[in-house]
Amino acid sequence: MTPNNIFKIENLEKKYGERKVVDIKNIYVNNGDFFVIVGPSGAGKSTFLRLLKYLEEPTNGDIYFEGKKLSNPLDVNIQRSISMVFQRPEFLKRSVFENVEFPLWIRGKKDNEKVEKVLGQVDIGNLIREKTSSLSGGELQRLALARAMVVDPKVLLLDEPTANLDPYNVELIEKIVLNLNKAGKTIVMVTHNVFQAKRLASSAGLLLNGKLVEVGSADTFFNTPKDARVKDFLEGRMVY
Amino acid sequence: MVNNELLEIIFLTLRVSGSALAIACVLGIPFGLILGSEEFRGKKIIQLLISTGMGLPPVVVGLVVYLLLSNQGPLGTINWLFSPSGMILSQSILAFPLAAGFTSSAIAAVSPKLIIQIRSMGTTSWQEKITIFSQARNGIIAAVLAAFGRIISEVGAVMLVGGNIEGHTRVLSTAIVLETRQGKFAFALSLGFVLLGIALLANSLTYYFGGQWEK
Ligand SMILES: Nc1ncnc2c1ncn2[C@@H]1O[C@H](COP(=O)(O)OP(=O)(O)O)[C@@H](O)[C@H]1O
Ligand SMILES: [Mg+2]
């Protein structure tokens, strides 16, 4: 095992009843990667991310985080090293400020300046005293990002972070996560949006019916994919 | 004279109802917290008992407590029959299911998705419980108010267990019954207004502090 691995996945399987929803042989996510998994809706992308965060236990196989095998219940320090932005983020019935302060509070490290700084980074510094119920979809998504970023995690997991957002918010969020990655943050993102994947990924894979059909550097994956299904998907010819 | 007696009645009413409310909430709210958030065997049955308990007829509770506390009863030796302690006991029993039941539904109404997302941030189980509790705050305030409403207006149980003894166990609700029976409608009605006033004050304070807490 190279110490460079953040995640190492071995024969990962998740079944719901008899249905295998995730079935991934061997992949690595390296330190500093922006790893993006694309795939149609229902491919198992969200389930895959939930497995990485150990919100669900794999039916078979292992996940290693920095060389440590994940098991249930997940070690709280590992839990806190991995921040996840959910496909449909939910918030506390409190202010914007308190929602971002919350993960710091958990760690016993409340820090007003940090909260203000990160809200500025996602460009909702002006909404700091608002209740979350008064925010728009794009603002909420950025709040979810702020809440994940504020604790400076080792990895960020992003589940369709711009689904259903307007182009302004999409661009803003992409800029923020790209900057984070440039600053060294490891990111694992899943999306059905090929164009977004292309704009962001340093390495990428296609998930179809729970199976990763091709994984590689962004350059290879997007420009010279070997698998016909990847070509079809990238060119929008895949029927789903 | 009348004033002194009235003050005594008001004071006892507050003491009995306040103690019963405190007991019901101290036991009922944590109970509801567990009932609303944990899965365990027999949960359905307990939920059924609690929701039945929310509608317990006060006279029946009064009767049962009376039998328990009477000289021949299993608790006869503690001498609580016709005493404020006995009244507090029966009112606590009446209010407990309300405190527990409303707390439990308030807790259960907190979005499970939110709880998963909170947990995924790495909360300890204590932090998770505190957070769920704070998210259910308004429902829990309603639980306290419902328990209080039940207790303060209740007459059947305090009448049976307390006996409406002047200067000893007479409270506002039992005094109203007595005065009405004696045809002193004006006095009965003014006692009724005092009772209403107490309820109004309690509600206002709750809303005020509930609102303070919210911001
Ligand atoms: N808790 C669950 N129980 C049963 N089936 C599930 C559950 N979660 C997801 N699935 C199924 O697993 C498949 C993959 O879901 P998901 O990971 O959400 O896909 P994606 O995020 O790629 O759209 C879907 O067919 C979905 O219906
Ligand atoms: Mg999904």
Task: Give distance in angstroms: CA of A47 to centre of ligand 1.
Answer: 6
Residue type, A38: V
- Tens of pLDDT, residues A135-168: 999 999 999 999 999 999 999 999 999 998 999 9
Cβ contact (<8 Å) for A90 and B124?
no
Cβ contact (<8 Å) for B122 and A80?
yes
Number of the ligand 1 atom closest to the C-alpha atom of A39: 22
> Which residues in chain B are contacts of A53 at CB distance < 8 A?
120
Minimum-distance CB partner of A55 among B120, B123, B134: B120
Q: How far is the alpha carbon of A111 from chain B, nearest alpha carbon, in Å?
A: 17
Whether residue A107 lies within 8 A of chain B, CB to CB, comes out as yes
> Which residues in chain B are contacts of A106 at CB distance < 8 A?
121-124, 127
Using CA atoms, how far apart are residues B24 and B100, in angstroms rounded to an integer?
A: 8
Out of A55-59, A228-232, B136-140, B208-212, least confident range: B208-212
The pair of structure tokens assigned to A156 is: 């960020």
Cβ contact (<8 Å) for B117 and A86?
yes
Split at pLDDT 50, 70, 90, the class of A3 is low
pLDDT > 90: what percent of chain A?
A: 93
Q: Are A66 and A99 in contact (CB under 8 A)?
A: no
Residue A2 predicted with pLDDT over 90: no
Q: Would you state the pLDDT for residue B2?
A: 62
Q: What is the pLDDT along chain B (215 residues), one digit of tens a residue?
A: 467 888 999 999 999 999 999 999 999 999 999 999 989 999 999 999 999 999 999 999 999 999 999 999 999 999 999 999 999 999 999 999 999 999 999 999 999 999 999 999 999 999 999 999 999 998 999 999 999 999 998 999 999 999 999 999 999 999 999 999 999 999 999 999 999 999 898 888 877 776 655 54
Cβ contact (<8 Å) for B122 and A106?
yes
> Which residues in chain A are contacts of B116 at CB distance < 8 A?
55
Q: Give the DSSP per-residue string, B70-95.
A: STTSTTGGG--TTSHHHHHHHHHHHH
Q: Would you state the pLDDT for residue A237?
A: 78
* The three-state (H, E, C) secondary structure of A65-109, written as one string: ECCEECCCCCCHHHHHHEEEECCCCCCCCCEHHHHHHHHHHHCCC
Please indicate whether residue A132, judged by its CB atom, sits closer than 6 Å to ligand 1.
Answer: no
How many Cα neighbours within 13 Å face the side chain of A93? 13
Provide the ipTM: 0.92
Q: How far is the alpha carbon of B98 from chain A, nearest alpha carbon, in Å?
A: 25
The chain B residue lying nearest A104, using CA atoms, is B121
Alpha-carbon distances of A126 from A96, A122, A123, A169, A186, rounded to whole Å: 10, 11, 8, 16, 28
Minimum-distance CB partner of B120 among A77, A84, A107: A84
- Tens of pLDDT, residues A69-100: 999 889 999 999 999 999 999 999 999 999 99
Q: Give the DSSP per-residue string, B7-56.
A: HHHHHHHHHHHHHHHHHHHHHHHHHHHHHHH---TTHHHHHHHHHHHTT-
Split at pLDDT 50, 70, 90, the class of A1 is very low
Q: Would you state the pLDDT for residue B203?
A: 82
CA-based radius of gyration for chain B: 20
Please indicate whether residue A43, judged by its CB atom, sits closer than 6 Å to ligand 1.
Answer: yes
Q: Are B51 and B101 in contact (CB under 8 A)?
A: yes
Using CA atoms, how far apart are residues B74 and B58, in angstroms rounded to an integer?
A: 21
Whether residue A141 lies within 8 A of chain B, CB to CB, comes out as no
* CATH numeric code, B3-214: 1.10.3720.10
pLDDT mean over A185-200 = 96
Please indicate whether residue A240, judged by its CB atom, sits closer than 6 Å to ligand 1.
Answer: no
A64 CB neighbour count, 10 Å cutoff? 16
Q: Would you state the pLDDT for residue B65?
A: 97
Q: What is the layout of strands, in order, in the sheet containing A211-217?
A: A68-69, A60-65, A5-16, A19-30, A211-217, A203-208, A34-38, A186-191, A155-159, A82-85
Would you call B118 helix, strand, or coil by DSSP?
A: helix
